[in-house]
Chains A and B, each alone.
Chain A
């Protein structure tokens, strides 16, 4: 019965956020542990239930068999202790192997905000560049993610690549990820962080090494302040520029929008990025993601929204 469950379960375990469909080293090891322990749990549940039924319905009862002390001692202490010691050793060794120690790979800084993510990369020219709600990684080499918070506690989590680590004000945490499969994935804030915790996702793109180099090259020093229609630029200056930047080398209190045109999602994973969705988002984001910290733009006329959208989509 247990063996029959595995393929069934495996069918349910796909998905862009599934810890059981790993695409990275740490996640693979943890997925392996998970399967071992889940099967172990099912087996032990079956054994305990069988013992319970036997204790009540069993025919051979009463005097014979081992002493009460022997049953309690072996069943309650010795056997579980042995299993737990083995599990503990296994867990400690696996956990140790995931720690960010030894080599010093590229470091990407992630800052959690209510309710979006800022990513800060070392650029091609030695300067840093910023982007928001999209994490790009090279396949096959380790990357250290430095996780910090700008306001409350968040938790950085890309289930297909590895475990989570909290973003805590006043602290700086680190996690090492090593993707081993190219593809689009997803990350999500795991620690409850207020009204829009549910809409605090980010897009993850694992590239082949040359593609990743291209990405870094492209983003380094990218300046789209002058791109797009002039009316859009003016509207952006009026309504958006206090918080948002159109250059990748300046951060802001709101998400960096220099590379918005290339992003597959809007509003920290809230909407799929389409022409229509962008216009909807600009005008009605307080209805789509109520309580987010961007001022309501419901009063913008259609023309301005259109100009803004064109400006933001300009490459």
Chain B
């Protein structure tokens, strides 16, 4: 296809083969798609559909509130609609759009051909789609969730919401969160491992940094909500009183768990938007971003601080003022990292030679609106002011300034910025600017004076209001503004559709950007790069002239195809030095099948068919193991030529493959879940009313000791297996058999303690939470046994050698984690009643 100055055909990249290898099969085969561009596009399209649905719901709300005493919607309909508006926008629009954007662009920014776990992101897509359809279906059936998108207990518990509505929320959202977890694992491992040669951390585009931190925040931020949802669903389904104050539970535990997730969530949404701003500003300023290190530092700082301010959603629940001061301070100081980013962008523009193009208009909208939202956020962080403004329309205005200003506007800018790349069409301005002004004016007309609506006393979530309270004009203006805003979005949608369908072909790199995604064809090929670039700067297209032609000519890495492999580079996470060739999986139905089994699990639970649900869970586990079985190699291979004189091992033979990083990230998810569970356990002991319970756990002391010992020895067995395997000694299979048995013993030991030692979990939150904790340990013991047996099978089938040891190392890590949680949990469960129970 391409010619190279050296003239030798041998040098050209195998673009035809690459296109064939990376392509998605036609027809029904599309269901097997795993390519990151395809999955990313699907995420983006579905999330935009949900945005339209969420927007239409908002129109219904504004129509209802336009005049006092309106009878357009009744209370039930209004409550379902506002709950669904929030839920759809947060969980089905914002997060999935970020996921889609990152899945689509991260490999393109990092100079890779795909993500490291393409099937995992396909799996995430199906989970997202199924969960979203469950929520959407409930709305069509008129049984949508109606307790508000933060589902406060006890309003959302069985006694006060007996219908299926709340279950739909808990199960639908949890299903969608599975995709967020999958995304977090995928992106942490990809950004750290799957970059092109020479892209050290300090040369990584800021987009990579932002998404890395966002993915880490998702990994740590979502488990508390997943835990909370599981506990609440168990309470609703089986009457275990985790949140019931009459039986030793505490409704505030839900609020802590929800906002432990809920506040980081705001930054999870904002950071990727700031990421695209950080990519556009240098392009339009025509110079590199000022203060790269400052921005990286501020993104990391945001990630940390955002986990320390969840209580600012709870300033009115009666927490001592002194404790509130800490959260008030944290809530204010989280503004600093954002201020740093703003001044970095402003400095870049000021120092550069800005060109004023359409995306810049949207960036101005972002600047104005988001600064306002940030400042009202500082206002709300002030405790006494919060006591007045909390739960009023002031907060509604604030959060829309933050989310529309800080998320939607940057992404609209990004939409126009990347449209030439993704569609291959040139951008023409006028309708886009009209759309901007409609959106900008409509937005402010809806929300600016809504701050005042709240301060003159209008609470949020009221389906109607009386005359004479001074709210009439404020509400009418907001409703009119809402319709202008909608007209703006409609204009934008038309503009984009027209341009994509009938725009002129764009020239290459029309904005003259410096980052790698513009080195691809417009629209990009399925394999992204014909050869993977060796980069030596943060803006390779500015600093390495002729790079695009070199890539097409195949003079960089991995230009050749062989063995029908889909290849991309793996690098040392810090230095960016290539250290392996990652072989990517092709199209597969496994993600769809596994997600379908999960659908059986979730739907079974939702409808109360618990045996079907259990069957779905087992089937999903079997699918997962089958999936794991397809990874790895059954023989040792020599090092392979990677281009530019480099010889590299394939990833299955690397000591540091992406799977290892994925495993660690997955365990961080699990560990966060566990730590949150411990928090809940101790919180109930310390804070909940109605403690101590009538009786504590009673088992023979030998039982927990033996259970803990079995867990430790199971880990020891897997450790021996890894050592024997590395030394080429015999005995690894025997060690695995021992671990299998010991894992099962651990599991039985935990179960036995539940059955023989604990009162019924429905009687008191103590018994409920202790049962849950021991159940968690028992499940981990069981998984240790299964994994050890799986490793034994893998050895038998020849997938394990001294070079190919990942299976065993993953098993060992899991068993060690299990040993830790079993020992800590059993220690707490059996010593706390003695230490505190006796004195209480």
A: which residues have CB within 8 A of B?
9, 12-21, 26-27, 29-30, 33-34, 37-38, 40-41, 44-45, 48-49, 51-52, 54-56, 58, 61-62, 68-69, 71-72, 75-77, 80-81, 84, 87-88, 90-92, 94-96, 98-99, 114, 151-153, 155, 157, 159, 162-166, 168-171, 173-174, 186, 188-198, 269, 290-291
Contact = CB atoms under 8 A, between A and B. Distances in A.
A89 B291 CA distance: 31
B360 interface: yes
Given A12-B474, A155-B316, A166-B318, A87 B384 contact: no
Contacts of B452: 9, 12-13
A72 B318 contact: no
Contacts of A151: 154, 160
B342 A190 contact: no
Contacts of B690: 170
Say whether chain B's binding surface is mostly helix, strand, loop, or mixed.
helix
7 contacts: A13-B470, A19-B388, A51-B346, A84-B333, A163-B316, A194-B160, A197-B459
B304 interface: no
A125 to B, nearest CB: 31
Nearest to A99: B321
Contacts of A81: 333, 336
B530 interface: no
B324 interface: yes
Nearest to B340: A76
A49 B391 CA distance: 29
A198 B462 CA distance: 4
Contacts of A76: 294, 298, 336, 339-344
B155 to A, nearest CB: 4
Contacts of B689: 170-171
Given A15-B470, A190-B390, A52 B346 contact: yes
Contacts of B324: 95
Given A12-B456, A55-B354, A168-B317, A193 B155 contact: yes
Contacts of B364: 52
A155 B461 CA distance: 13
Given A9-B452, A76-B339, A173 B344 contact: no
B477 to A, nearest CB: 11
Contact of A188 (B298, B333, B378, B457): B457
Given A95-B384, A152-B155, A152-B160, A15 B76 contact: no
A145 to B, nearest CB: 12
A209 B325 CA distance: 36
B318 A84 contact: no
Contact of B379 (A37, A174, A192, A291): A37
Interface stretch (B37-45, B245-253, B612-620, B822-830): B245-253
B391 A191 contact: yes
A170 B250 contact: yes
B376 interface: yes
Nearest to B294: A72
A69 B291 contact: yes
Contact of B339 (A26, A75, A170): A75
Interface in B314-347: 316-318, 321, 324-325, 328-329, 332-333, 335-336, 339-344, 346-347
Contact of B332 (A19, A84, A195, A269): A84
A152 B79 CA distance: 16
A87 B388 contact: no
Interface stretch (B185-193, B227-235, B367-375, B585-593): B367-375
Contacts of A96: 321
Contact of A30 (B375, B384, B469): B384
B152 A192 contact: yes
B335 A15 contact: no
A221 to B, nearest CB: 32
Contacts of B461: 192, 197
